[in-house]
Amino acid sequence: MPRPRVLSGVQPTGALHLGNWLGAIRNWVALQDSHDTYFCVVDLHAITVPHDPARLAEDTLTTAALYLACGIDPQRSTVFVQSHVSAHSELAWLLNCVTPLNWLERMIQFKEKAIKQGDQVSVGLLDYPVLMAADILLYDADLVPVGEDQKQHLELARDIAQQRINARFAPRDAAGEPIPVLKVPEPLILKDGARVMGLTDGSSKMSKSDPNEGSRISLLDPPELITKKIKRAKTDPTMGLEFGNPERPEADNLLGLYALLAGKSREQASQECGAMGWGTFKPLLAEAAVEALRPVQERYQQWRQDPGAVEAVLRDGQAQAATVAEETLDRVRQALGFLPRS
């Protein structure tokens, strides 16, 4: 039996943080043993909001090196850069032409990000979910790990594949049965999918693009900076740490972070810290964060010491990814009726 195929990616929009690690990459690492895993750095997505061209290449390389440092193993996973496989852009165009505009206008993430950008909002931002659908559908992914914020986009990818491509363009076999053009992927809802909130506001998610650096812990922050950020993290006047109290989002978030970083269950963390004051808890959390990130930072330095090593992984990944992607793209071109290339 072939292993179910999984695809996921992170945008190189800045320094990866604890949310990207604990909510996404850490789970990808675990999937490598049981699934056929494809992980890309989604640089085409990163330019859907204003970006700095002087940083894009370096951020892309850093993101790829962090995948490797977090435990993505190029022997077991295909690691590549989205823009290196041009099939992503081409399939996105083909899918654009069959996707109703109002499906995109409904997307919550577009509405939220568009508000922030006013008149400057790009067509690319509106089209983000179609590009994401192309990313997934190109690899015949069976499963896509999704957090709450990406569920709507995955649903859209499924609708495009099923209703807009397969239902309209599937060729027929000898018995007249349709042969699906695209595989319709399922969401992979992770059992311990963590949603990490910001350090300066326990009710908004930790994010690369938050202008306040102190709101996030980046995976490459040195120990002193991690300790300083945790020391300054927002607290409340109540004694003791607890989960699930809607009045205390910071307590819930930081206690959850402690459990994940120290490798303890939520019950263990509650028991240990339930009666602690913030002054005792924060150094404990800082130490757990520093220790959890130490091996990641060490491995990152090793990868970056050899400038060609990460590029070599990405070159191999590109070759492997492009082979699969081109096959799918060819199926779609044929189904849509294009003149075959000679």
Q: State the residue for tokens 């992979």.
A: 188
CB of 141 to ligand AQP, least distance (A): 14
Q: Binding of ligand AQP at residue 200 (CB under 6 A)?
A: no
Q: Binding of ligand AQP at residue 205 (CB under 6 A)?
A: yes
Beta strands 143-145 and 36-41 are: unpaired
Which of residues 181 and 259 has its CB atom nearest to ligand AQP in the complex? 259
Structure tokens at 22: 């604990």
CB of 261 to ligand AQP, least distance (A): 13
Among 48, 207, 270, 318, binds ligand AQP (CB under 6 A): 207
- Beta bridge partners of residue 145, listed in sequence order: 188
Q: How many CB atoms lie within 10 A of CB 54?
A: 7
Structure tokens at 106: 């409904």
Annotated catalytic residue, options 111, 113, 234, 264: 113
CB of 119 to ligand AQP, least distance (A): 20
CB of 50 to ligand AQP, least distance (A): 11
- Beta bridge partners of residue 39, listed in sequence order: 8, 79
Among 6, 13, 107, 335, binds ligand AQP (CB under 6 A): 13
Identify the CA nearest to 178 among candidates 195, 165, 196, 159.
165
Given a contact cutoff of 8 angstroms between Cβ atoms, the answer to whether 219 and 304 are in contact is: no
Known catalytic residue at 113? yes
Q: Which of residues 21-60 bind ligand AQP (CB under 6 A)?
A: 23-24
Please provide the distance, in angstroms rounded to a whole number, between the alpha carbons at the two ends of the chain: 35
Q: Binding of ligand AQP at residue 20 (CB under 6 A)?
A: yes
Contacts of 196 (CB under 8 A, 6+ apart): 17, 18, 19, 22, 23, 205, 206, 253, 256, 257
Amino acid symbol at 53:
P
Segment near ligand AQP (CB under 6 A), from 145-153, 229-237, 239-247, 328-336?
A: 145-153
Q: Which of residues 230-259 bind ligand AQP (CB under 6 A)?
A: none
Q: Binding of ligand AQP at residue 229 (CB under 6 A)?
A: no
Beta strands 186-188 and 143-145 are: parallel
Q: State the residue for tokens 């996030």.
A: 216
Structure tokens at 236: 């409340």
Report DSSP state, residue 215. G
Which of residues 13 and 200 has its CB atom nearest to ligand AQP in the complex? 13
Which of residues 125 and 332 has its CB atom nearest to ligand AQP in the complex? 125
Report DSSP state, residue 171. -
Among 5, 6, 7, 10, binds ligand AQP (CB under 6 A): 10
Give the x-and-dash track for 209-228 against ligand AQP (CB under 6 A).
x-------------------
Question: CA-to-CA distance for 160 and 132, rounded, in angstroms?
Answer: 11
Q: Which residue is nearest to ligand AQP (CB)?
A: 23
Which of residues 78 and 218 has its CB atom nearest to ligand AQP in the complex? 218
Most distant pair of Cα atoms in the chain: their distance: 73
Q: Which of residues 310-329 bind ligand AQP (CB under 6 A)?
A: none
Annotated catalytic residue, options 116, 151, 191, 208: 208
Identify the CA nearest to 311 among candidates 139, 62, 44.
62
Among 147, 180, 187, 240, binds ligand AQP (CB under 6 A): 147
Segment near ligand AQP (CB under 6 A), from 64-72, 86-94, 203-211, 229-237?
A: 203-211
Catalytic residue numbers read 113, 205, 208
Q: Which residues lie near ligand AQP (CB under 6 A)?
A: 10-11, 13, 19-20, 23-24, 147, 149-150, 194-196, 205-209
